[in-house]
Amino acid sequence: MTRPRRKKLKSSINRVSFHRLIPNLATVAALCIGMSSVRFALVEKWETAVSLVLVAALLDGMDGRLARMLGSVSRFGAQLDSLSDFVSFGIAPAFILYHFSLKNLCSYGWAASLIFAVCMALRLARFNTQDETPSPLASLRSLFFTGIPAPAAGILGLFPVILWCDQKLIFAKNPWFVGGFAIVVSSLMISRIPTFAFKKIKLSQSQMLPLMVLASVVIAITLSAPWKALIALCTIYLFLIPFSARQFQSLKNELEVEAAPTHE
């Protein structure tokens, strides 16, 4: 009678609780949703294609938090998240841009799409292999990304499509404009420019209420005029990049001064 009980106990130990799979399921959902945007791009439903990439970005922002909340952080989940990001924010936007406008440039348009996807892969590979060695500047890693993060780059790359969805602006579908903008975003992805990591910024109690009011305003505008709100957010993000670089340099100088040995 003891042997069957031991087998049952061993099998129960090897099982994984379902709640620990939830973050990985969210990552897989983001991958499927991001890849599905390609299908709608093929039939020129640009609004749906862009919207699906946005949904994938929202899920990407949730899966890491879910993993930490549920205690299911793992190397498998981290690698799956990177693969999902590459598909949703590298392959899918590159494909959408190509069918939206870049195909009119033939080989040059395809080259721009390839550059965007390759830069996304390089950006993710650098992020996965970044040095985690403790240092005086390690605290800045939690406040800044190196280059534009994958979800932001995927959405920014689709900025011409977003302009077209809102106003049907002729220049937004110009293949040279689309290709040039894709190259600029690709360069920012693999650059060493520090960019704000908004989800890691910690706020004081006095800042919570104004932030909630601001968030309510943003949500209200987004619900009433989603494309205009998205255009505004993308524009604001681009203008914040120089400020983030300046803030990083300022904090870095302060830390270096504090770490410098004092001579009496």
Per-residue confidence of the chain (264 residues) as pLDDT tens digits?
A: 455 555 554 554 556 566 677 788 888 999 999 999 999 999 999 999 999 999 999 988 887 777 777 777 778 888 888 999 999 999 999 999 999 999 999 899 999 999 999 999 999 998 888 766 656 566 677 778 888 999 999 999 999 999 999 888 888 889 999 999 999 999 999 999 998 887 666 666 676 777 788 778 777 877 788 888 899 999 999 999 999 989 888 887 777 666 666 555
Q: Which of 46, 124, 126, 123 lies closest to 92 in space, CA to CA?
A: 46
Q: Which of 64, 60, 26 lies closest to 155 in space, CA to CA?
A: 60
The answer to whether residues 174 and 101 touch, using CB atoms and an 8 Å cutoff, is yes
Distance CA 199, CA 142 (A): 9
**Both structure tokens of 193:** 């420019």
Report which residue type is found at 34: G
Q: Residue 9: what pLDDT? A: 45
Q: Which of 98, 99, 76 lies closest to 27 in space, CA to CA?
A: 76
Q: Which residue has the tokens 């110009």?
A: 174
**Both structure tokens of 128:** 């996965």
Distance of CA 143 to the CA centre of its chain: 15
Contacts of 147 (CB under 8 A, 6+ apart): 123, 126, 188, 189, 190, 191, 192, 193, 195
Q: Which of 85, 175, 180 lies closest to 126 in space, CA to CA?
A: 85
**Both structure tokens of 11:** 């099998």
253: DSSP letter: H
For CA atoms 93, 94, 97, 98, give the dihedral sign: negative
Residue 150: CB atoms within 10 A of its CB come to 25
- What is the value of pTM for the model shown? 0.84
Domain 21-127+140-252 = CATH 1.20.120.1760:
yes
Q: Which of 131, 124, 125, 174 lies closest to 153 in space, CA to CA?
A: 124
76: DSSP letter: H
